[in-house]
Amino acid sequence: MPNTKLLPHRQNHVFKIYNEIEKYVASSAPDRKAQKNYFLDLVTESSELNECEKNYCKEMFIRNFELHNVIHKFGEPMECKNCKSVRYSVRYCEVCIKQQLQRSFGTWTSENAIVDEFIQKCQLISSVPPYIIEWIPFKQFKDVEYLTKGGFSTVYTATWTRGSIYDWDENKKMFIYFEYFGPQKVVLKSLNNSINPGKDFFDEAINYFKIQSNSIVYCHGITRFPENGNYMIVMNRHPEGNLRNYLKICNGLRPLLLQNIPTSFARIMQECWNTDPRKRPTIEELFKFANNELVNVYKDGKFDNTISLNSALDKINKSHPFSYSSSRILTGVIPESIGNSNYVTSQYDLTLPDKIS
């Protein structure tokens, strides 16, 4: 993890520079190893970052690079010196982390055997930070405030003092938590009448677990609201300005596509929403698509033959021809009953605990 902390007033600037360099090298270097070396060189040469900020960017890029190595098996296979299993990252061994999680099973409980079983199963399937679901005692939350209520759930915002599992220290065999950076803002979603959680609650938790990504949803775990005993799903919180849109996604609504989105992007978004997971693009296909589009931008100044980067701003609020006339439930995109479906991903293959009818 980055050992370097950023000054609060410099964070947005550093993130902007980081993202610009990352996008540039993705379109300029031929492979991941070359992209890594090019990124580190450009950060070193940057005149817009001080030495502390350069170290932060380098550490963050290497962390993310190694995460992709282990999650997608991009790295060269090698034998782990500790557990002797095959690993794909010099930084993370998924088997070692999984063993640490198993050793901790007896140190926590939700006071519900089915919830415990569900969390343990999730941890054995996904054992790489930050994609680890855990039981979170409610006492770790402060500033809990009511936000909104729907037909089947109530949503709160809160500050998580300890924060989520952020990284793994292989030498110390211990997790590193988000509290290193300060308190973490989260959303707590409580399904009504979930004191004894049933199939609907676990379907909901599985949905968030399967769709989590850097830009949409992180499902950090499960907690229990002491006021009414309902169990709650703990998710990442987007900045205030985007929170309503974020909750729209969380509740299964689909945002409109705007007129100025390039046709190629609209098509691939539709493919990602396909009811049949087997017809969705793979991560490798998405990487290739993004890189090709970025190359076109730097070469021609536009995404395709019809949509220029300088498209008229008056089109921005018009619906895209590929979009629906209004937001709708993602029917089939997030299956209504994952426990009874054949929904499978390469990383997560979850079914409901046997005890749930």
User: How does pLDDT run across 118-160, given as a tens digit for each residue?
Assistant: 899 889 988 999 889 999 999 999 999 999 887 678 999 999 9
Average pLDDT for residues 169-187, to the nearest whole number? 88
Q: What is the CATH number of the domain that holds 92?
A: 3.30.200.20
Distance CA 267, CA 279 (A): 13
| Domain match, 250 and 268 both | no
Q: List the one residue out of 228, 225, 94, 237 whose CA is nearest residue 168.
A: 94
Residue 232 lies in a domain: yes
223, part of any domain:
yes
- In this structure, the answer to whether residues 98 and 240 fall within a common structural domain is yes
* pLDDT number for residue 323: 38
Is beta strand 134-135 parallel, antiparallel or unpaired with respect to 141-149?
Answer: unpaired
Tell whether 201 and 282 lie within a shared domain. Answer: no
- Asked, for residue 169, whether it belongs to a domain, the answer is yes
Q: Domain count of the chain?
A: 3
pLDDT of 163 > 80? The answer is: yes
Q: Are residues 199 and 95 in the same domain?
A: yes
269 confidence band (pLDDT: 50, 70, 90):
confident
CB–CB of 317/76 below 8 Å? no
Q: How far is CA 174 from CA 78, 96, 98, 101, in A?
A: 22, 11, 12, 10
In a domain, 354, yes or no: no
Please check whether residues 196 and 291 belong to one and the same domain. no
Q: Do 228 and 90 share a structural domain?
A: yes
212 and 188 fall within a common domain: yes
Q: Is 164 exposed, middle or buried (0-12, 13-18, 19+ CB in 10 A)?
A: buried
Specify if 356 maps to a domain: no
Residue 346 lies in a domain: no
- The pLDDT of residue 195 is 82
Q: What is the pLDDT of residue 290?
A: 79
Confidence of residue 214 (pLDDT cuts 50, 70, 90): very low
Cβ distance 348 to 124 under 8 Å?
Answer: no
Spatial distance between the Cα atoms of 225 and 145, rounded to a whole number of angstroms: 12
| Nearest alpha-carbon partner for 225 in 187, 258, 190 | 190
Q: What's residue 299's pLDDT?
A: 60
In a domain, 35, yes or no: yes
Range of weakest confidence among 75-84, 105-114, 167-176, 259-268 = 259-268
pLDDT interval class at 313 (50, 70, 90): very low
- Using only the alpha carbons of the chain, give its radius of gyration: 21
295 in the same domain as 182: no
Measured distance CA(34)–CA(189) in Å, rounded: 42
| % of the chain residues with pLDDT over 90 | 41
Query: Among residues 64, 62, 44, which one has the least CA distance to residue 53?
Result: 44
Which domain, by its residues, includes 114?
86-255+335-340
pLDDT grade for 171, boundaries at 50, 70 and 90: very high
Is 287 or 13 the better-scoring residue by pLDDT?
Answer: 13
User: What is d(CA 321, CA 266) in angstroms, rounded to the nearest whole number?
Assistant: 9
Does residue 168 carry a pLDDT above 70?
yes
Per-range mean pLDDT, top range of 202-211, 239-248, 264-273: 264-273
| Same-domain pairing of 195 and 292 | no
Question: What is d(CA 321, CA 357) in angstroms, rounded to the nearest whole number?
Answer: 42
Quote the Cα angle for 326-213-352, to 5°: 90
pLDDT band at 2 (very low <50, low <70, confident <90, very high): low
- Span 323-354, pLDDT tens digits: 333 333 333 333 333 334 333 333 444 454 55
Burial class for 76, CB neighbours closer than 10 Å (0-12, 13-18, 19+): exposed
Same domain for 269 and 251: no
d(CA 104, CA 98): 10
Residue 130 and residue 241 share a domain: yes
Average pLDDT over residues 227-246: 73
pLDDT at 17: 94
3 pLDDT more than 90? no
Between 332 and 14, the more confident residue is: 14
Question: Between residues 215 and 59, which one has the greater pLDDT?
Answer: 59
Pairing of strands 231-236, 184-191: antiparallel
Section 208-214 average pLDDT: 55
Any domain includes 352? no
Q: pLDDT-derived band of residue 8, with 50, 70 and 90 as boundaries?
A: confident
What CA dihedral angle connects 135, 137, 142 and 147, to 10 degrees?
A: 50
267/145 same-domain check: no
**Residue-averaged pLDDT of the chain:** 77
Is 261 in contact with 271 (CB distance < 8 Å)? Answer: no
Residue 315 has pLDDT above 60, yes or no: no
- Pairing type for strands 134-135 and 219-224 reads parallel
Dihedral sign computed on CA atoms, order 322, 289, 261, 12: positive
pLDDT of residue 100: 96
Output the pLDDT for position 328: 34
Do 338 and 122 meet the contact criterion of CB atoms below 8 Å apart?
no
